[in-house]
Amino acid sequence: MADKALSAICKNTKEIIFTEPLDESEILAIMSFCKAKKIGCTFTQSKRLLILECNTLAEALDILSEFGLIEFMGSLKEITEWDLKRIEAEEEIEITFTPENEDLKT
């Protein structure tokens, strides 16, 4: 019987929409903080949408809390994307998911 496996890499992002646009100094401070923590972050041109590349909700909330922005959060969406790397199966398969973040690989 052949090995049956599915390998995938997981990418988690959090999309945060603020109730009002952030100012330039807040954006620069958040970007510097995220860079130091090795968390990818992107702001849209409107300065109301922040996209964080982090694996847990706690990480995203810690960033918002650090800058006193929890009360300005209008919505938070967690997005999980799977990049399938290999599928070898005829019937049932064992599934192994690996986080994209190297620190969380087991």
CATH number at residue 62: 3.30.70
pLDDT at residue 89, rounded to an integer: 63
Average pLDDT per block of 10 residues along the chain, 106 residues long: 68 95 96 95 95 93 95 94 75 67 51
pLDDT at residue 103, rounded to an integer: 55
Nearest-Å Rg of the Cα atoms of the chain is 18
* Number of helices followed by number of strands (H, E) in the chain: 2, 5
Residue 21 lies in a domain: yes
Q: Which positions ≥6 away from 75 have C-beta within 8 Å?
A: 16, 17
Which range marks the domain in which residue 52 is found? 14-79
pLDDT at residue 1, rounded to an integer: 42
Residue 43 lies in a domain: yes
Backbone torsion region of residue 9, taken as left when φ is above 0, otherwise alpha when ψ lies between -120 and 50, otherwise beta: beta
pLDDT at residue 105, rounded to an integer: 44
pTM over 0.95: no
The number of distinct structural domains making up the chain is 1
Half-sphere exposure of 79 (CA within 13 A, CB side): 9
